[in-house]
Amino acid sequence: MAAETFPIGEAARRCGVKVPTIRYYEGIGLLPAPSRTEGNRRLFDAADLRRLAFIRHARELGFEVDAIRTLLSLQDDPDQPCAAADAIARERLADVEQRIAKLMALKDELERMLEQCASGRVAECRVIETLADTTHRHGPFT
């Protein structure tokens, strides 16, 4: 049985990515070069689409292409030395946890503002304070 394949336009629609972006990802090696038709058109399979959707989500979350590349390398080479995979996963995990913490703080603040708004008062906004620097001390400051 021949597996289902999709032209680039439908891949784009399904994954919420623009057509040129897909070609771009292929160009920089994030997405493997898909098979082609007689007429030289790309044909993507389900695995390609899953990978593409993953890339889109990761980019939306603010991961750099290089970070995504290492994340995908966990997937692509499950046989790489455990220590290497561990290091990559550990590093990504720390990053992810920090992001979550900051987003939670921001969420709380936005909710507080919405509550005040609901009660008819104009909120004094403290969004700036919510992301106050607790994690980025890399020098001797006063």
The residue ranges that bind DNA (CB under 7 A) are 7-10, 12, 18-21, 23-25, 28, 36-42, 59, 64-66
Tokens of 71: 């994340």
Tokens of 93: 């995990």
CA distance 20 to 27: 10
Phi-psi region of 43 (alpha: psi -120 to 50; beta: other; left: phi over 0): beta
Q: Which stretch binds a second copy (CB under 8 A): 7-15, 18-26, 31-39?
A: 7-15
DSSP structure class, residue 81: -
Q: Minimum distance between the CB of residue 106 and DNA, rounded to whole angstroms? A: 17
Q: Is residue 106 near a second copy by the rule CB under 8 A?
A: yes
From the list 32, 123, 142, 133, the residue with the least C-alpha distance to 76 is: 32
Q: Is residue 65 near a second copy by the rule CB under 8 A?
A: no
Q: Minimum distance between the CB of residue 135 and a second copy, rounded to whole angstroms? A: 9
Q: Minimum distance between the CB of residue 22 and DNA, rounded to whole angstroms? A: 8
Q: Minimum distance between the CB of residue 40 and a second copy, rounded to whole angstroms? A: 25
DSSP structure class, residue 19: H
Q: Is residue 13 near a second copy by the rule CB under 8 A?
A: yes
